[in-house]
Structure 1
């Protein structure tokens, strides 16, 4: 079973690296560097305005640590067929879960330490804790994460203890109490409580060795975890594992009715309804737009928000281009008496509308964040030029290359 997990982990990492190469392309890395630089600059400026002993500083530290604690889920890499083919090996499933825990907890340690590293300047400015106390809080955080993994393993067995299955207490309430004790002047007490919790959950987990393994529960949890990973990758590239689901979305009928049912709007009618009702492309468009608006709200300056808006507009337009071939597998579209030029023009109008709406939303967010007409005018000019160039020149060029 150990060899099986290592083989699956190797295959899993290869798949993740394949998608990561697509996600962290040149454009996204450039946008990410700008975002991290802008966020770090804003964080640095914000820390300069803070004073020691703020009443709300410790609650913020506790909340941030509690949220960081939820990062990093238990990766079992189970597959649907395991309920049949691994059933004879159920007695050895603990070996498999041991390898899964080692991998999952290694990643979780990185998440927790990185969260502490980012929070450290805020703690030092507002509270100035001794280094020993900070080290104890970090140890308590890691012990709490270890407890969550023990709970995750126990939940995958058919245990009858309701207190183990009720994860709210051990994921939120108990860690909140321990973190409050650690941050509010008792880090030694908090660390001891976290150690007791980790040991008790590991002992409780070992007691269920003879309990049947809940294959359906374990497979469902793993599928849900992987769907979350694939949805993230789907923001940047097509993921075959995600099957699109068409949704009616009646609340957007008024928008679709703008497209008149005429022969020249044949493909515009098809594309407009397809983009609205497609769970894949509409979700990608809306998520990137919302993410860009959130980032622009926190970014200040003259050129930084303009550059970030331009990069997100390009990223959205670039990701929407494959929708042009969305209906090529439907044989009836090849029977339409419609010229290719008309189809391209219809898709151009769709792209212009979508990117134009996003550009307007970005412009509003830039103005709200900066309260400067000059920055707004610069952003308007840059966005207008980018939308025109992307729709009139870049899009036809990409379509010709694809042919």
Structure 2
């Protein structure tokens, strides 16, 4: 079972790396360098002339923190035929999902921490000190842990594994990446889906059937 999912992981990563060379072309890399240089310069100017009113900074940090906390998913590498062909190995699949939850948690916690380190100068400029910043990073890490735990709990039901949900979540995760690559080149394997927006049903009442 481990070899099967390892092959799937390597195949999908190879596919993503193949598309990535079209994303990181000369023009896009140049644009990123200019953008990062501009942002770094503006950031240094902000730190040199730091405003006395800290509320806009705190609001920005708070919104960004929430977005970083929600960012990331569990890579399971499950496919639609698995609910038929791997049904007899459900217990092994459960162990695989728990293992992948831990791996995904560590990866996204690392990514989240890297972005949060950019806020360290802001905390120091506001006078909070390094210990407060470390507590802030730790709290967001704990929040990420409970969020991933809650996501993983949806994989299981009282009777066993929710195959349809696990497969659909993995499909959505892959589609997000493939749609991003599709902005730069032609991508295989993109599927379209329709999702009902119940909160917009009132619009239909004003239109004749």
> TM class by shorter-chain length?
0.7 to 0.9
CA distance in 1, matches of 2:184, 2:103: 26
1:19 is aligned to 19
Does the alignment pair 1:142 with 2:141? Answer: yes
Cα offset, 1:5, TM superposition = 2.6
Structure 2-normalised TM-score? 0.83
Cα offset, 1:156, TM superposition = 1.2
Is contact 1:5–1:100 with CA below 8 Å preserved after alignment?
no
2:198 is aligned to none
Is contact 2:94–2:161 with CA below 8 Å preserved after alignment?
no
Cα offset, 1:70, TM superposition = 1.2
CA distance in 2, matches of 1:243, 1:214: 22
CA distance in 1, matches of 2:56, 2:45: 18
What runs of 5+ residues in structure 1 fail to find an aligned partner? 160-210, 246-403
2:197 is aligned to none
Higher relative CO (Cα under 8 Å, sequence separation at least 6) belongs to 2
Aligned length: 193
Larger Rg: 1
1:107 is aligned to 107
1:130 is aligned to 129
1:65-84 maps to which residues of 2 (within 5 A)? 65-84=65-84
Cα offsets for 1:111-137 (capped at 9, x unmatched) = 211221122222222x22221221121
Is contact 1:61–1:123 with CA below 8 Å preserved after alignment?
no
Cα offset, 1:49, TM superposition = 3.5
2:87 is aligned to 87
CA distance in 1, matches of 2:37, 2:152: 39
Cα offsets for 1:315-344 (capped at 9, x unmatched) = xxxxxxxxxxxxxxxxxxxxxxxxxxxxxx
What runs of 5+ residues in structure 2 fail to find an aligned partner? 194-209
After TM superposition, where is structure 1 displaced by more than 6 Å over at least 4 residues in a row?
none
Cα offset, 1:243, TM superposition = 4.9
Cα offsets for 1:21-60 (capped at 9, x unmatched) = 2211222211211111122222222333332462343333
Cα offsets for 1:94-117 (capped at 9, x unmatched) = 221133123312320222112211
1:154 is aligned to 153
Cα root mean square deviation, aligned: 2.1
Cα offset, 1:217, TM superposition = 0.8
Say which of 213, 217, 222 aligns to 2:170. 222
CA distance in 2, matches of 1:224, 1:140: 28
Is contact 2:123–2:130 with CA below 8 Å preserved after alignment?
no
1:2-401 maps to which residues of 2 (within 5 A)? 2-52=2-52, 54-125=54-125, 127-158=126-157, 211-243=159-191
Is contact 2:76–2:100 with CA below 8 Å preserved after alignment?
yes
Structure 1-normalised TM-score? 0.45
